[in-house]
Structure 1
Amino acid sequence: MEPRTDGPDQESATDQTFDVIVIGAGAVGENAAGRAAQGGLSVAIVEAELVGGECSYWACMPSKALLRSSQALRAARGVAGAAGAVTGDLDVAAVLNRRDSFTSGWKDKGQVDWLEGAGIQLVRGQGRLTGPKQVSVTAADGSATTITARHAVTLATGSAAAIPEVPGLHESHPWTSREGTSAQSVPKSLAIIGGGVVAAELATAYAGLGSRVTVLARSGLLRGMEPFAGELVGEALESQGVELRLHTAPERVTRAGEEVRLETSDGETLVVQEVLVATGRTPRTGDLGLETVGLEPGSWIETDDTMQVPGFDWLYAVGDVTHRALLTHQGKYQARAAGDVIVARARGARVDDAPWGAHVATADQRAVPQVTFTDPEVASVGLTAAAAREAGYEIRVVDYELGNVAGAALHADGYAGKARMVVDEQREVILGVTFVGPDVSELLHAATIAVTAEVPLDRLWHAVPAYPTISEIWLRLLESYGRPGS
């Protein structure tokens, strides 16, 4: 679906010089601009598509809207007494309409109104660096405007779906996550190439909407997480009608009309109505003018923990484009740090030495929370057991079956799931936590606090979980570990 940019007419810079210029008006860029504006700086934000970006229109919001209805239906059917009241099937048209409501019909007027209320100048068009603190913006009609920053330029252009070099795949016009989350009809059959979070979530969504879904995952499912996460999600996907072809990849793809044929590495041919590629991301820096300041076009942008690009006292980058943690909430966290840094430095302050560390983004390197909104959900933060060992920690791994917790048993009949706590044995603090089960996303922030704050286990004993809730898993994990120092 092509984006529509029919917002207000406030689309040209009236003042050609600003304290700060942000290129990219997605959720991350909006946060960077908003933080700088709150600090009293004049800010221009440049956007070639829709204000609000990937998360608002083609990722977080629409994908979760697509997932929620079938998840709620399965939840109702999993509780005796409620199950008998569920007599109909999913209303697919209503699901798509609800999804559209969360994207505002792919119109960005509400987001533009927010910029105006925050005192941030929107400049529509493709922004490119032309030199230190200078940005050229090419509008849709081809006209160009040059704007200059007094203090800083922040790059927040995000990432795009990477399409692998498989013969015939590009020519077959595959879906990416954008088409997957914005489709106005549901294909009868869908092949998904990839085994990561996007692949698993969209497989869940389209299976729930009635598609016959096949997943081709060359490296397995949810690789990089605790192994049991991929195993439990895989079992659930198969129970929802998804065909999993693990350790299998497409070798040739051809499209003939409404039919796509995939010749796979296991010697079989798969015929589907649509194919969706979810094999990773690539930085949107190819047309950003990086070469004008000595950086490599098309590359990820390295930053320090203040989100400043090394070697440039005026250039910052936040969000996916940095490759630090490709998650909206982490990008917004980086943006808040960068905005505060820019304001402080504009006033001559030495933010690097701030004792409270408020201006430094470090949580995106050691305590990243993430939810995979499959059914069951996967909620994790910090290091997996394998990553902790590789980092040289002496660890103990504590596992517990979530279904044995009273609150989980009440939550759903036959509740099945698993929790893992990875403990640094020398310091007796938690390095990582993973939960797999229905609705475990709501458990995650407690784990994030425990990992980020490095709360000692002997203090966690005093954080008493309410009974009967699924949060009682914390008590069970601590009991399984035993009293610290014992």
Structure 2
Amino acid sequence: MNAQTYDVIVIGAGPAGENVADRAVKGGLTAAIVERELVGGECSYWACMPTKALLRSAAARRAALSVPGVPVGDLDPAAVLRRRDEFAAHWKDDSQVGWLDSAGIALHRGAGRIVADRVVEVGDVRLTARHAVVVATGTSAFVPDIPGLRDIAPWTSREAAAASSVPGRLAIIGGGVVATEMATAFAALGSAVTLLARSGVLGSFEPFAGERVTEALREAGVTVHLGAAVTGARRDPGGEVRLTLADGTEVAADEVLVATGRTPNTEGAGLPAGQWLTVDDTMRVNDWLYAVGDVNGRALLTHQGKYQARLAGDVIVARALGKPVEDARWGRHADSGVVPQVVFTDPEVASVGLTAAAATEAGLRTRVVDYDLGAVAGASLHADGYRGHARMVVDEDRSVIVGFTLAGPDVAELLHAATIAIAGEVPLHRLWHAVPAYPTVSEVWLRLLENYPL
């Protein structure tokens, strides 16, 4: 076999893999990336970028409709899909490959398989790592074992993100982030959408978030079935799909999107198939193997994967050069306790840290402060009839915020302030001195603090 040696070998060229390789090279090591599909990974072609492009046009139209004096026409689905294609680079990775080359990172195309300690085979090439092998292979959509479901060739998040046309009727199985975002997107594009949410809508968030998104989906014409369990699926000769529910009713659709979770991409990589890779806070599995991004199961979010990758790259460099690793808190380690997330539905949902229920389960003595976002002056200027809600969860013993959730139009850009407050453990008496500008929606911070007497 063709044998090559590098300091670091990364399997997977998504955002996490690219970042750990880049950090290693900038630290003076050599690095190679192995990629079986497109350089740039799921986020660039089938997740973050194309899905948000699908959602953005409708969000902009809704914003224009919420203030008088702005001429607003109908949404043009073909134009939306063309814009989505641009953001997915027409599913070509030339620019991403060019970036790898400019960064001094070698690329090996093909499926990487770990065959021995620090050894990865890609086709007829045998790669050996002097210091570390990093698994950054991400996840794939989980398709539940429902009779007939796989036979109908259902959509997963990939097919939804890359759809070349808008189905007349779309049934979505699931009630999480992918399910609700795609229900929002395709309803706006003209599909008759049915959402089958067996375990509820956005169940991992504060309850009011799921309630408001469910209400908005129904107002947009989406049929939402809560507690609906799919027990069978079949596709008729004419192409129509019929889903059978536990109560015996049937749902007819032209396409079915399965959005019921993710499974780690470890099969075929010389790792236990379908198992998350357990890591320490420096992302290390063992003395030479690391796992960053979704595959370690800590937080299935691109920004968290990149965060882990930057830290892992620094740690690998330090260990390779015999330098100490500052793995105490605020050092070179990944703390998954403060995870920001935005759901780009209508309304948007933005959250970071713990929900009220999770904080109680963690044994914290908490106080929950809620506020009506629509009562904030900046919100009423932002949109007529603005409806939204904000919640902060306070650790009473330390007088710091441990959780923050917003639901409302355009709340995503408010989230980072909460992330800083929680990650930095800023005491509430100091937050009083962080005065929000008037009139902005961020004035909600003042209103929340006013409702939490010190």
- TM-score interval, normalised by the smaller of the two chains: over 0.9
Partner of 1:77: 65
Q: State how 1:347-386 maps to structure 2 within 5 Å.
A: 347-351=321-325, 353=326, 357-362=330-335, 364=336, 366-386=337-357
Partner of 1:419: 390
> What is the distance in 2 between the residues matched to 1:15 and 1:132?
15
> What is the distance in 2 between the residues matched to 1:265 and 1:381?
35
Partner of 1:263: 244
> What is the distance in 1 between the residues matched to 2:198 and 2:396?
35
Structure 1 residue 159 displacement after superposition: 0.3
Q: State how 1:270-349 maps to structure 2 within 5 Å.
A: 270-290=251-271, 296-309=272-285, 312-349=286-323
Check if 1:100 corresponds to 2:85.
yes
Note the alpha carbon deviations across 1:357-400, whole angstroms, 9 max, x for none: 331111x2x11000000011000000000000000000000000
> What is the distance in 1 between the residues matched to 2:373 and 2:101?
47
> What is the distance in 2 between the residues matched to 1:235 and 1:271?
23
Structure 1 residue 14 displacement after superposition: 8.5
1:199 to 179, 186, 189: 179
Is contact 2:172–2:193 with CA below 8 Å preserved after alignment? yes
> What is the distance in 2 between the residues matched to 1:396 and 1:131?
52
Q: Which amino acid aligns with 1:468?
A: P
> What is the distance in 2 between the residues matched to 1:314 and 1:432?
35
Check if 1:398 corresponds to 2:365.
no
Q: Which amino acid aligns with 1:96?
A: L
Structure 1 residue 89 displacement after superposition: 1.1
> What is the distance in 2 between the residues matched to 1:356 and 1:318?
19
Moved over 4 A (4+): none
> What is the distance in 2 between the residues matched to 1:105 and 1:66?
14
Check if 1:114 corresponds to 2:99.
yes
Is contact 2:138–2:294 with CA below 8 Å preserved after alignment? yes
Is contact 2:2–2:126 with CA below 8 Å preserved after alignment? no
Q: State how 1:171-182 maps to structure 2 within 5 Å.
A: 171-182=151-162
Partner of 1:91: 76
Q: Which amino acid aligns with 2:403?
A: G
Structure 1 residue 267 displacement after superposition: 2.1
Normalising by structure 2, we get a TM-score of 0.98
Note the alpha carbon deviations across 1:113-139, whole angstroms, 9 max, x for none: 00000000000000000000000002x
Change (3 A) 1:108 1:100: same
Q: Which amino acid aligns with 2:24?
A: A
Structure 1 residue 297 displacement after superposition: 2.7
2:403 alignment partner, SS class = strand
Change (3 A) 1:226 1:424: same
Stretches of structure 1 lacking an aligned partner (at least 5 in a row): 1-12, 139-143, 291-295
1:481 alignment partner, SS class = coil
Is contact 2:186–2:193 with CA below 8 Å preserved after alignment? yes
Structure 1 residue 15 displacement after superposition: 7.1
> What is the distance in 1 between the residues matched to 2:258 and 2:316?
38
1:128 to 113, 126, 143: 113
Check if 1:475 corresponds to 2:449.
no
> What is the distance in 2 between the residues matched to 1:258 and 1:79?
42
Q: Which amino acid aligns with 2:344?
A: F
> What is the distance in 2 between the residues matched to 1:110 and 1:22?
19
> What is the distance in 2 between the residues matched to 1:212 and 1:48?
36
Structure 1 residue 214 displacement after superposition: 0.3
Partner of 1:389: 360
Q: Which amino acid aligns with 2:350?
A: A
2:248 alignment partner, SS class = coil
Structure 1 residue 354 displacement after superposition: 5.5
Structure 1 residue 78 displacement after superposition: 1.0
Q: Calculate percent identity across the aligned residue pairs.
A: 65
Check if 1:243 corresponds to 2:219.
no
> What is the distance in 2 between the residues matched to 1:481 and 1:266?
47
2:451 alignment partner, SS class = helix
Note the alpha carbon deviations across 1:215-244, whole angstroms, 9 max, x for none: 000000000110000000000001111000
2:333 alignment partner, SS class = coil
Q: Which amino acid aligns with 2:277?
A: I
Structure 1 residue 258 displacement after superposition: 2.1
Change (3 A) 1:266 1:78: farther
RMSD: 1.1
Structure 1 residue 356 displacement after superposition: 7.2
> What is the distance in 2 between the residues matched to 1:329 and 1:239?
32
Partner of 2:40: 52
